[in-house]
């Protein structure tokens, strides 16, 4: 489609993507197009090539920050607070998001699975937000907390050391002789038969598609986890209970009615 600009310039699509502006002289044609201007001065036309956006962004048409160049998995230029301007901080935030995403995926799966067992009566389990108050016969709550702090502290320390010095935790003797089971592909991706039993991303440098799928699912899980938190706070019920209640009357038992009833 041609667009007239000013008095004598015509902007048209350009077939060449390497040229931004080309000035050409065209002879006026007879018919309706020749009556656009009454002057006999030569018409001067130009062509402008509009290049499409190079990569998708979280907000279409938005220019991403220069430091988010699309090389990171799941990079859609989203950083409204500018937290990743410092390269070292950006590396840490990438690892932090990855860990939170994995915890969220495990948490959502665990909550839904145990809640399904509880609702169907297969197992007498507490609702997920009351599970922490359950007393177990095989160990006291204090013992469980100490063991968890020790195990999580050990794993997180190893992860941090691998972040500071990539590959250092895969050296022989650094993990009780189990280094071959982890391989230490790169920070955040230990791999190996223990954490990558199917061998889906052995070549981690070229596993961009797998990284993208993981971070997308992880971000969705973090949003789902937030929804489960809010849902439990408002309805005092598990996600499966809420789903069953909604399906029983989809038009009248929605989030709008639920929030309205909770505030009244």
Output the known binding site for chlorophyll b. Answer: 182
Annotated binding residues, written as ranges, equal 97, 100, 102, 182, 213-214, 217, 219, 231, 246
Helices 208-235 and 239-248 cross at an angle (nearest 10°) of 70
Dmax over CA atoms of the chain, in Å, equals: 99
Annotated binding residues for chlorophyll a, written as ranges, equal 97, 100, 102, 213-214, 217, 219, 231, 246
The contacts of residue 182 (CB under 8 Å, 6+ apart) are 169, 170, 175, 190, 191, 192, 194, 195
């Amino acid at each position: 489609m041609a667009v007239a600009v000013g008095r004598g310039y015509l902007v048209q699509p350009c077939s060449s993507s390497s040229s931004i502006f080309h000035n050409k002289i065209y002879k006026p044609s007879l018919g309706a197009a020749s009556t656009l201007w009454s002057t006999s001065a030569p018409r001067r036309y130009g062509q402008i090539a509009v290049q499409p956006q190079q990569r998708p962004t979280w907000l279409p048409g938005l220019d991403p920050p220069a430091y988010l160049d699309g090389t990171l998995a799941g990079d859609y230029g989203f950083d409204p607070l500018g937290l990743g301007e410092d390269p070292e901080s950006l590396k840490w935030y990438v690892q932090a998001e990855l860990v939170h995403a994995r915890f969220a995926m495990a948490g959502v799966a665990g909550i839904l699975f145990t809640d399904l067992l509880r609702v169907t009566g297969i197992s007498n389990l507490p609702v997920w937000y009351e599970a922490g108050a359950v007393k177990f016969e095989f160990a006291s709550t204090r013992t469980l907390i100490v063991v968890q702090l020790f195990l999580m502290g050990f794993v997180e320390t190893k992860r941090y050391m691998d972040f500071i010095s990539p590959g250092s935790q895969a050296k022989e003797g650094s993990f009780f002789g189990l280094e071959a089971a982890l391989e230490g592909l790169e920070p955040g991706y230990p791999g190996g038969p223990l954490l990558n039993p199917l061998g889906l991303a052995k070549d981690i440098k070229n596993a961009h598609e797998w990284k993208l799928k993981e971070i997308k699912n992880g971000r969705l899980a973090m949003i789902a986890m937030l929804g489960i938190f809010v849902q439990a706070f408002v309805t005092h019920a598990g996600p499966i209970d809420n789903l069953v209640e909604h399906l029983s009357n989809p038009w009248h038992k929605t989030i709008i009615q639920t929030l309205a009833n909770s505030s009244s």
